[in-house]
Structure 1
Amino acid sequence: MTVKKLDNTNILIIGWNERAMKLIEIITAISNVKINIIDCSVRELPYSSESVEYIYGNPMFDETLKRAGIKDTNITFITADRHSSETVSDSKSVISLLAIKSLNPSVFTIIEILSDSSIENAKRAGADEVIYTSEIFSNTIINSLSGNS
């Protein structure tokens, strides 16, 4: 999917964190999109934008996903919960992915996974793309140390 194809796209981001905020900044700078964010760690989003709507709730529940317009969503990003252990975070992400895919099987989903043991579960649950954060971090360090950055 090219960046230009993002215009008029409905995007759902699960989890409010630095990665989500950076993603929003980049996408809204280059595309005309509508972004919904689901999170239950903050009551009010400390971020303001006309193209962003915040839905307080648990993304593992159908009711929350429906309030976020999951049926009209084209792309979903599921970010890892860094406040939980890797196993718990990945479990929450995979359960959210299952709920999302059950309500909108055609939505393109990108999931962040913290533990390599959860990668296959994310794929089985229907993830279109799996981002294994630890591998990206390790590869960046190795490239930096070898002078290939």
Structure 2
Amino acid sequence: NLLLLSNLLERTSYAVVFQYLASFLFRREKKRKATTSMVTVVRELPELQQILDNNAVVAIDFYATWCGPCKRISPQFEEFAKEQGNVKFLKVDVDESEDISEKYGISAMPTFIVFKNGQVSETIVGADINKVKNAVAKALDSA
């Protein structure tokens, strides 16, 4: 019985170790994917101002974590960011960054604001990626 128990514990510990390693590797892979995003999350007004001052065209997605349309358009915004190397893409959580949301008069989510040379070029209210793409294209054409 002692030998049987020893074998059982040995197999169990390998299984536990294997599960732990697998979960560690999976979490690490998830973190790696999250860092490859072309969209930067901004939380502070000075940080946003610095980005606006140093980039010709900036597109910001003002979102809320509880907003269904925000969740649906987020992958499209991420994909668009990958296609546009000469545009800075940002996300602002309206609940975390109330000062930024207040400054730009955000009252509905999602709201997208495209900036050209630090100035608001166009504001899009609603989850319409084509309107965002058109606004970015206009800002690039006139930059």
TM-score (norm 1): 0.29
Q: Highest CA radius of gyration, 1 or 2?
A: 2
Larger RCO: 1 or 2 (CA < 8 Å, sep 6+): 2
